[in-house]
Amino acid sequence: MRYVVFDLETQNTFSDVGSSDPKDLSISVGCAYDSLTDEYTIVTIDELHKLWPILEQAEVLVGYNSNHFDIPLLNKYYPGDLSKIKSIDLLEDIRISLGKRIRLDSVAQATIGAKKSGNGLQAIKWWREGDIASIKKYCKQDVKVTKEIFEFALLNQKVLYKDGMKKREIPLDISGWHPHENHKMTFSLPF
């Protein structure tokens, strides 16, 4: 299965735009990991088009809160419809299993022993300061962490999270994660 793990950072907050709709935000930086090439591609808003061929070749898009945030936001820029590509939103699967949402940092620390290198508000501050290199580094780290959590979940059908000082398991139903064998997708762009 060829999967692409991706994440986006924004230039602004929901309070800045007076809305809770991700489509009202503006992207600053995006990062995608392609399992076929084992490479990370990190782009700024002006280079988003470089992600299209990567995303369009994916059998599955993987993210953390991606169905409710990243895909709708990225679709604002994309000339097709990314929601037509199979997606796995780890946060959504965690919420279905556990009954509540868990921060990526909590899952990362307990599952793979890694931490995020910042937060979305810090990334917005860096954008306003013109520190694009720090945003790219942070976004890539989020993609690496999400990729490792996804791979752990594929092997173990669970992830872990920190509950105070304890680690707790979250069983995940991964039966729907693999694309159908006859997966054929036609996209809007000529690649």
pLDDT at 29: 98
Contact between residue 88 and residue 31 where contact means Cβ atoms under 8 Å apart: no
**pLDDT tens digit at each of 191 positions of the chain:** 999 999 999 999 999 999 999 999 999 999 999 999 999 999 999 999 999 999 999 999 999 999 999 999 999 999 999 999 999 999 999 999 999 999 999 999 999 998 766 677 889 999 999 999 999 999 999 999 999 999 999 999 999 998 888 999 999 999 999 876 554 454 545 44
Q: What is the pLDDT of residue 168?
A: 94
Contacts of residue 189, defined as CB under 8 A and 6 or more positions apart, other chains included, come to 52, 53, 56, 79, 80
Topology (CATH) of 3-171: Nucleotidyltransferase; domain 5 (3.30.420)
| DSSP secondary structure letter of residue 25 | S
